[in-house]
Amino acid sequence: MSTEIKLPFDKEYVHSFSKDMGEPAWMTDLRVNALEKAEDLPMPKPDKTNISKWNFTQFDKHIVGSEDYSSLTDLPEEVRSLINLESADQNLYIQRNNRPAYISLSKTVLDQGVIFTDIFTAAREHGELLQKYYMTDGVKVDEHKLTALHAALMNGGVFVYIPKNVEIKEPLHSVFIHDDQEANLFNHVLLVAEDNSSVTYVENYISTMEESKGIFNIISEVVANTNAKVTYGAVDTLSAGTTVYVNRRGVAGRDARIEWALGLMNDGDTVSDNKTNLIGDGSYGDMKTVVVGRGKQTQNFTTNIVHFGKASEGYILKHGVMKDAATSIFNGIGKIEHGATKANAEQESRVLMLSEKARGDANPILLIDEDDVTAGHAASVGRVDPLQLYYLMSRGISQKEAERLVIHGFLAPVVNALPIEGVKKQLTAVIEGKVQ
């Protein structure tokens, strides 16, 4: 039985919104058709987490008005710390709630034919290219109610396109700022790397308010064509009270590589679905994720690598820390389809619990439909190792400082994988604040 949608947005509103944004007819039709599908599609059912009473659909405002930033010095302090204010030649996109508020692209990148722009400009100026990849090979509109709602109500995001044989040395950086209590974000990031190209993309979702009732329905699609390499880093720090659904999906062609480094630090209830389809022979997927849960929040993280191509390699590493009365489910899935001979699926999930009421559950799953493959998994759930604490304390370090060092060391494999120094420092500071 599907959950009834009671939204103040009907087909007429969606059609009118699309027209006001100057979108091509195909996008308007996609939105309207998606809204129709959303009425009948079921909600997603993340394993071991009941989200039937979570609010993903009840909100008043689809978009809110926000001002541009005339310069980077006008940014909130927590955002300024993420970027290099001294650099006049950087690749940076800033979105304030639903509004594109700042964009800068270096001349070197522009001259190589790279597209890095907000999703609405992309629909108007690069419509055919966007249509080719938007919710086609990655996330499908009709997967469930939340993907359909996202397609119907998409109200922000970016489009990144790297042409064939282009290698971008400097990272592309997006910052999505949430600073309005009434803002709700249906954000879409689409990154396409053509044959023999490479790019590093990093994004931040950041709330400047301690608490909000905002609804976030976020989808990212990464398409890495033949022999392309994409490194995708993200740090999510949305405020307490938010309800978050985030779906990050990768599609890797022959000999392509997609590497994820995700710091999932939201303070609200969160469902995260991170999946990479290794379509081509010799394709490679690597997912590194760190999570810190606190308060009474409930979170579910599913990481999934599906092997279709021969000799494809998939690696999953997830480390989580739970404190207070936080609850988190960590599902790791490695699936090898029939025909994916010589594939290698490896995964590791580890959870530290810092209090009696905290709960973490690590579920490694291997689904193998082929004989000539390699696969393995490891999982653990427990408390801080007393032997590690004893070793540190025996050298004059206090128990509190020793626990802090153990936790940072536990999460370091993902933190160190983030390619932008300011973002790495931010994630370290967020972890520090959360585990205190």
Rounded Cα distance, 139 and 157, in Å? 15
Q: What is the pLDDT of residues 24-69, one digit of tens each?
A: 999 999 999 999 999 999 999 999 999 999 999 989 999 999 999 8
- Burial label for 92, CB within 10 Å (0-12, 13-18, 19+), is buried
pTM listed for this prediction: 0.95
Where is 334: in which H helix or E strand?
strand 327-336
Task: Write the CB contacts of 16 (distance below 8 Å, at least 6 apart in sequence).
Answer: none
Q: Specify the pairing of strand 257-264 against strand 229-237.
A: parallel
- Cβ neighbours of 32 (radius 10 Å): 17
CA distance 294 to 266: 9
Cβ-in-10-Å burial (0-12, 13-18, 19+) of 379 comes to middle
Phi/psi of residue 128, each to 5°? -65, -40
Scan for tokens 């998939």, then name that residue.
314
139: left (phi over 0), alpha (psi -120 to 50) or beta: beta
Q: Which pair of structure tokens corresponds to residue 90?
A: 């950087």
Selection from 235, 251, 308, 259 nearest residue 136 by Cα: 251
321 - beta bridge partners? 292, 352
The closest of 207, 201, 197, 130 to 166, measured between CA atoms, is 197
Token pair recorded at residue 105: 């692209």
Integer angstrom CA distances of residue 373 from 122, 205, 422: 41, 38, 40
Q: Half-sphere exposure of residue 285, counting CA atoms within 13 Å on the CB side?
A: 37
Beta bridge partners of 400: none
User: If you search the block for the tokens 């999953």, which residue do you land on?
Assistant: 316
Provide the terminal-to-terminal Cα distance of the chain, rounded to the nearest Å.
Answer: 43
SS3 content of the chain, % helix, strand, coil (to 5): 25, 40, 40
- Ranges of H-type helices in 59-171: 77-80, 107-111, 119-125, 127-133, 145-153
Q: What is the pLDDT along the chain (436 residues), one digit of tens a residue?
A: 344 556 668 999 999 999 999 999 999 999 999 999 999 999 999 999 999 999 999 899 999 999 998 888 899 999 998 887 777 678 999 999 999 999 999 999 999 999 999 999 999 999 999 999 999 999 999 999 999 999 999 999 999 999 999 999 999 999 999 999 999 999 999 999 999 999 999 999 999 999 999 999 999 999 999 999 999 999 999 999 999 999 999 999 999 999 999 999 999 999 999 999 999 999 999 999 999 999 999 999 999 999 999 999 999 999 999 999 999 999 999 999 999 999 999 999 999 998 889 999 999 999 999 999 999 998 989 888 888 888 889 999 998 888 888 888 888 888 888 877 878 888 988 998 888 7
The structure tokens 């060092």 sit at 405
Dihedral, 274, 279, 284, 286 alpha carbons, nearest 10: 10
Write down the number of H helices and E strands in the chain.
10, 19
pLDDT at 354: 87
Determine phi and psi for 375, rounding to 5 degrees.
Answer: -155, 150
User: Do 352 and 389 form a contact (C-beta atoms < 8 A)?
Assistant: no
In the block, tokens 């004059």 appear at: 396
> At 301, which amino acid appears?
F
Amino acid at 276: T
Bridge-based pairing state of the strands 243-252 and 215-224: parallel
Position 268: which residue type?
A: G
Q: Give the C-alpha separation, 123 to 214, whole Å.
A: 26
DSSP state at residue 238: P
Copy the structure tokens of residue 112.
């190589």
